[in-house]
Structure 1
């Protein structure tokens, strides 16, 4: 069977040995995977515009070149093809139903596990392409992470704080031998206290940050004095030096501003050109941040209390609370791992151990106090 001719500057790494049936099955798997990945990139491109769309389409085109390589080795379209591997199928499903940030995070991991480095029938250019694809997808995912980072951080922090703190609270109260009604009351009180604290803290934080930005913005206090400044000796240069310009740059800027002010109509108040101030939109609104923090915390804190809300008690309520919180902790941990390009299961397990560790401490303390009170 003929192998593809190498392109200029490319070195074929394909084996000269006669291909076996096992080789052909492996090529067919590569073929369907490349097709599926190209389809994912085209689906993502359909939702994007501008530069990101062009980049995604270029990635799909590159996967198409790899597909052609395996088609050539197979001697045309096989009569039967395997399914894409599990990871590639998952990418395809997510590309149809979820935002691009999740898909790109998964694709980043997939591109980093290319088998072509050790594949004797792949070209050196194909192996190099996969490494470059990994960096391209990492860059695209990084853009999405930056857009998502503020809201996502608040959501994960608030929900996990509610999960862990209220689980620890109900475990500790329950371990003392308290009645189910007291455990439920403690859980609801913990939810409200924690959510209100989170909301109030976020309100104060954002409002204070906006006030600090407003205090550091340039003002028009000295605008009326500009036309009366001496052209050759004026303190306006000092203003620009406080804003980070060098002495020479500040002198040149001040001279230009004063010349403009002298030439302006004296009947119209002249305004000093305003330098870039604080970006209030980046900080966001205090009430919106407070409400979001309240809801994120409450959404997590309600989960440990659900068994008692529905009338369960004793070991059954404790077991169900641990199960529900465990699922929630592992879900948020996996999502953090997915978006950060790290192994989702490892992050999920870390989140679970942290939450259950805190609950174990308060449970043991509750047992201790329960024994002493008994």
Structure 2
């Protein structure tokens, strides 16, 4: 990738960690609303909703899980849907046109299903249209939505051909993330213990996906602000998109991006965004499963140095373990076991903590308790629980 500027700014890794912590609200929690924090981190992974609640609470002063739930199901300033990598995320409702415009424009990825099980392109379009029609004015469970899709398409859509936790799910479910990326589907409130789906049009009337080129450019800018300096390849990994496509996208934005060097390695930021953070990287944080910071930050060998890579990564994948973050870098793992209001927190540091770090860890455990509305009990010891699937 080329850049018009002949002057290359240089940043240290301390500068990078400080910028990222500051922009995530992890150096000093911001004063604002949950949706603002979610926008700043480019979405909060919400496959485990309690983890998303903790991710948001750690970034906004005084916020608890009840505040996040109110933002999601009460005021509707957050929306639960499929985001980057086709995984469940909380996104700001106001940004849904951007996200659907960008995610709906991603190149199709290779389908690992057998040829007999895959949806054809024509069937995919038919299923997405059926989902949009079924959810236009309803909140449906997966079984109810299956029945509606079958009625609107045909019996082929419900053939049990998709492997799913030891059983076989109907064929049409392959199209659920795409339907979300097109703006046809999002999550509704649970009905008892059952998940429901609905149309985001019900919460954001008249919304349309933004034009793809503008949406993708905006997403690159937001990603680089939160996670930069970064390379096109790292952006591709975060988004689960082809690397060549990401490089071409960055090239198309060359006039808006600026090359910098971090310890001799080239990466990119938004043009002019080369200042270090107002404060050095600092602080002890207990980040939950799939927190946006360890998932989105690169390179892995810098964020997970030495033993941290062996203990806190799962086949090179970040997020499967909750992590102890010290001064912007992974320094251990932790686990939480809830029993009523009791929150049993076990932290396994990978090096001895200083007196100041231990005090900060105590304070952080108290903050976790406030966010999750429980009574924390902190133990320093070995975490025996394996990573999340």
Regarding TM over 0.5, the answer is no
TM-score band, normalised by the shorter chain?
under 0.3
Between structures 1 and 2, the one with greater strand share: 2
Between structures 1 and 2, the one with greater helix share: 1
Compare CA radii of gyration and give the structure with the larger one: 1
TM-score normalised to the size of structure 2? 0.22
